A and B are shown apart, each in its own frame.
Chain A
Amino acid sequence: MSGADTQVRHGNDEAVDVSDPRLSRFDLVREGARRDGVEIVHYAPRFPVPGTKAEKRVERTIALFFMLTGLFATAFVVIFVAWHWEWHPGNNAGSWFTPLLGVSLALMLFCVGAAIIVFAKKLLPEEVAVQERHDGASPRDEQVLTGATLLNMADEAGLGRRPLLKGAIALGLAPVAAVPLVALGGMIDDPHDEDMYHKTGFDPEANGGNKVRLMRENLTPVRPEEISAGGQITVFPAIPHGATNQHADSPTLLIHLRQTDADELRRNLGHVPINEGDMYGNYVAYSKICTHAGCPASLYEQQTNRLLCPCHQSQFSITDNARPVFGPATRRLPMLPLEVDSEGFFVAKSDFEVPIGPGFWERA
């Protein structure tokens, strides 16, 4: 909004000649504000008599806040440079590095803010000013003028009569749009990829046709007698990178059931025909990936024989083929077919017989 425009709109006052030498500096300030549509209606110093005790006290307060600001800023720098910053176990100087930085920074910012606020509210003159607001829509004239300006820009570019330029811009900018597309598109996996969704690290085909052993996180194979009755262990496929994110779909919970619980599960195996023959003695192995959202469903309750998922509280009944009994999961945890090889280590008879993890759209 130009000054002239304002003057036209608020032209009820007499125009002030700014070159008039009789005008004080404050008169010019008031005129400048007036031309921007701001009317100063009250203006008075906080301390009409300079140098009073009260004024000095306010000055000292502000000065104190600025000094403290400098002190805390210096403290921040000194701590940052000189404090022992490395982390060591236990409670030592290094554990206080970050808290001290935070405290000194916070105090510094608080002091500089307090100084400015006290300055503005206690020392600067009291002022009440009124600004008029213009109505919602722009005047009709301005709308016409702005429209003409925009159309004129299009005319100046003249793309309508320069087809070469038009084509070049289209061809040049289309690949630019492809840059984010490929970057994001690469994150989408093919939902029809058999390997991706139907095979895990326990697939013997990926192991040269040999059955895959079960191993711990420290790469040692597992013997049946190593798991206590009423105990569980997280196992991974004993293949290269089997316990890494490369086979993030393979972690499996190997459980040694107590005799009565194992008997109950054996009776129930018929409920899910594909699970029959998958137990080894009193041992059973379920995929650790929850069928609801893929969290590790590994909270094992050894007396109530439930597996819990911590994310959304799905619960699976271990003695009934990991049937979901509570929570949002709707599908059983897949069972890994177990046996023991000639050296006495657990192996997977085959891969999981149903896809692991959350349901996807091809599956009922």
Chain B
Amino acid sequence: MSWKLGRRRRAVRPDDAVPAFTPPGRWRRRLEATVRLIAALTIVGGLYAALAPGVSQAEDTPPLSADAVQGKQLYETTCISCHGPNAQGVENRGPSLIGAGSAAVEFQVGTGRMPMARQEAQAQKKPPHYSWEQAAQIGAYIQELGGGPTLPKGQKLRATDEKAISRGGELYRINCSACHGFGLGGGALSSGKYAPSLNDASDREIYAAMLTGPQNMPVFGDAQLTPEEKLAVIGYIQSLKANKDPGGFGMKRFGPVSEGLMIFLVGMVALVFATLWIAGKS
């Protein structure tokens, strides 16, 4: 490099008649490069400084949809005391809802589990504080805040053809029956927790519960149980409810052993007292 530069300098020096073509000197070129660099940095830095605050302001206040605005108001009157501003959660009170999705909010609020009456082993189903529409509005707010699973549209989320219901039965028995029981009655878990009865659960509630895994229920994401399989499971559950027990009084479908025991105990006692009564009339 230095050899080339040196040679050119020597070649130019004797001919001063064409100054326009005089290459800039070594030091001058270095100076120019430095100035250009500083100028570029200043412009970029200045642009960034000018634009960056505007960008961060835009992130803080995304344009919420009309539903989400309603939901935000509801959120800030109730949910905020445990889940905190911007749904980031409050230590030892309520978890963050970022990523919970509207499906989880609709389930928890729509079934009355949230807002909780008190901190206890498990949020219980109770008469809902908000209607399902209001729950959906809060859900829209949480959804636009942090994303997450959402429910499909429509109230009737169930398969109705017998083949799908039969497949739903297989899926129910292998995935659900351990906790919710063969007859949908639910059952006990550890330390005061329990799997609730499915007898008064709607299609939408069951769908949301499978999708989000509320409380201690495992999550059944769409890759694990496809939407069609979820509809099949719901179809099975709802058809089980619609079916009358063919043997008469089914005792909440606790099964043949409990039925036999009941027939034996109640039947025997009734027969003994009937016998005593007949003998006593003599």
Contacts and interface: CB of A to CB of B under 8 A. Distances in A.
A301 B219 contact: no
Interface in B168-200: 170, 174-175, 178-179, 187-191, 193, 195
A306 B190 contact: yes
Nearest to B282: A121
Contacts of A76: none
Q: What size tier do the contact residues of chain B reach?
A: 35 or more
Contact of B187 (A87, A218, A234, A310): A310
Contact of B219 (A90, A231, A304): A231
A238 B187 CA distance: 31
A217 B246 contact: no
A233 interface: yes
Contacts of A232: 218
B33 interface: no
Interface stretch (B24-32, B49-57, B68-76, B220-228): B220-228
Given A228-B221, A232-B218, A300-B218, A326 B190 contact: yes
B65 interface: no
Nearest to B149: A228
A240 B190 CA distance: 37
Given A99-B247, A102-B248, A217-B170, A230 B213 contact: yes
A138 interface: no
A90 B242 contact: yes
B189 A228 contact: no
B218 A89 contact: no
Interface in B199-245: 213, 215-221, 223-224, 239, 242-245
Given A234-B174, A300-B218, A98 B190 contact: no
A94 B244 CA distance: 10
Main secondary structure of the interface of B (DSSP, over half): loop
B87 interface: no
Contacts of A310: 178, 187
Contacts of A102: 248
Nearest to B239: A89
Contact of B213 (A90, A234, A302): A302
Contact of A231 (B174, B218, B244): B218
Interface string B59-96: 00000000000000000000000000000000000000
B223 A225 contact: yes
Nearest to A117: B278
B248 A228 contact: no
B281 interface: yes
A231 B162 contact: no
Nearest to B248: A99
Given A121-B281, A228-B221, A304 B190 contact: yes
B221 A231 contact: yes
A87 B217 CA distance: 33
Nearest to B216: A301
A89 B170 CA distance: 16
Interface in B100-155: none
Interface string A93-135: 0111111001000000000000001000100000000000000
Nearest to A288: B178
Interface of A: 87, 89-91, 94-99, 102, 117, 121, 217-218, 225-234, 296, 298-304, 306, 308, 310, 313, 315, 326
